[in-house]
Amino acid sequence: MILVTGGAGFIGANFALDWLARSDEPVVNLDKLTYAGNLQTLGPLQGDRRHIFVRGDIGDRALVTQLLARHRPRAIVHFAAESHVDRSIHGPDAFIQTNIMGTFNLLECARDHWMSLTDEDKAKFRFLHVSTDEIYGTLEPEDPPFTETNPYAPNSPYAASKAGSDHLVRAWHHTYGLPVITTNCSNNYGPYQFPEKLIPLVIHNALAGTHLPIYGDGKQVRDWLYVGDHCAAIRRVLQSGKPGESYNVGGWNEKPNISVVKTICATLDKLRPRNDGHSYTDQIRFVADRPGHDRRYAINAGKIERELAWRPEESFETGIEKTINWYLNHGDWVENVTSGAYRDWVTRQYGTAE
């Protein structure tokens, strides 16, 4: 079996659902259920004996040690993190705590577990650390996309905390021999993304008839990766990636924010036209820029294609249409995660809401 951390969040839950749709290998899913974690996303796995959900903190050494001893996973796929740049600017503490201290704790528990394995199982064990392209900092318009050898130059508290975790993961391999692999991916989008990130926020606000906020001039560029493609990349890396290596994962889809928002508006104009016949672009508003806003991220995903034969299947056009259709058909999910009803339920169920 495998241990997934952060598997009630956007990418982790997509990963757990996809994993169990493709194989019977059980998943132990450790998640703290912060505002970003949602058990409703894992609803299809309710009652499924292959999925064991545990509410808890990756920083809880006793809990993680106990889980590893009980389930003896052959791999840990580490998604759990505080993940939103704007939140990291307002309150970096949780980012340092979870992304750096939590990863440190997980590595120490993983090392103890790995040391207890037979030589054969030791060789097969993997600690897969899911990280971000934001650790490379920002690019000028003419710069080539990030490769795995770009220097680390994180600019936001979020990016710095992820960079810190990447360095720990690297050191645990170099010093202790723990078979780690790091993936650095670009901006994900797709079903079940909390509507604080650009794409789900714009879909949600458009349908709610409110403003679509664009930071600064909207010419910042991101590379967009459909979450299903990302999950496939992680499965491939887990299967065939080389311990000690890192792999950039991207969608080959560089887009300025303003063009992403206009594409969403045009797709909604087609699929769910406004009652007044106007375009959703009328709702666009340029607002104050994010402090320290990185201008451009771009991923060269050539290494993972050459070495592990992975390439994304979705273009931005196909992926965004799938995503918008999903949000149109899952208003209940969005309503639930934004209404506070979910947090009330977690409080009732677990005693506390983070």
Q: How far apart are CA 115 and CA 107, in angstroms?
A: 12
DSSP code of residue 299:
B
254 binds ligand NAD (CB under 6 A): no
C-beta of 81 vs 324, nearer to ligand NAD: 81
Q: How far apart are CA 255 and CA 268, in angstroms?
A: 18
Q: List own/partner pairs for 16-23 with CB under 8 A and 24 or more apart.
A: 16/42, 16/45, 16/51, 17/41, 17/42, 17/44, 17/45, 18/228, 18/231, 18/232, 18/235, 19/231, 19/235, 20/45, 20/48, 20/50, 20/51, 22/235
Backbone CA torsion sign across 89, 93, 96, 102: negative
Give me the residue label for tokens 């650390």: 129
Which of ligand TYD, ligand NAD, none sits in contact with 100, Cβ below 5 to 8 A by type?
Answer: none
- Binding residue for ligand NAD, selected from 17, 33, 128, 160, defined by CB under 6 A: 33
85 binds ligand TYD (CB under 6 A): yes
Q: Which of residues 268-327 bind ligand TYD (CB under 6 A)?
A: 290
Which of ligand TYD, ligand NAD, none sits in contact with 88, Cβ below 5 to 8 A by type?
Answer: none
Catalytic positions, written as ranges: 133-134, 158
Which x/- pattern over 250-269 shows residues binding ligand TYD (rule: CB under 6 A)? -------x------------
222 binds ligand TYD (CB under 6 A): yes
Least distance CB 118 / ligand NAD (angstroms) = 29
- Binding residue for ligand NAD, selected from 98, 103, 253, 267, defined by CB under 6 A: 98
Q: Residues interacting with ligand TYD, by CB under 6 A?
A: 85, 187, 197-198, 201, 213-215, 220, 222, 257, 290
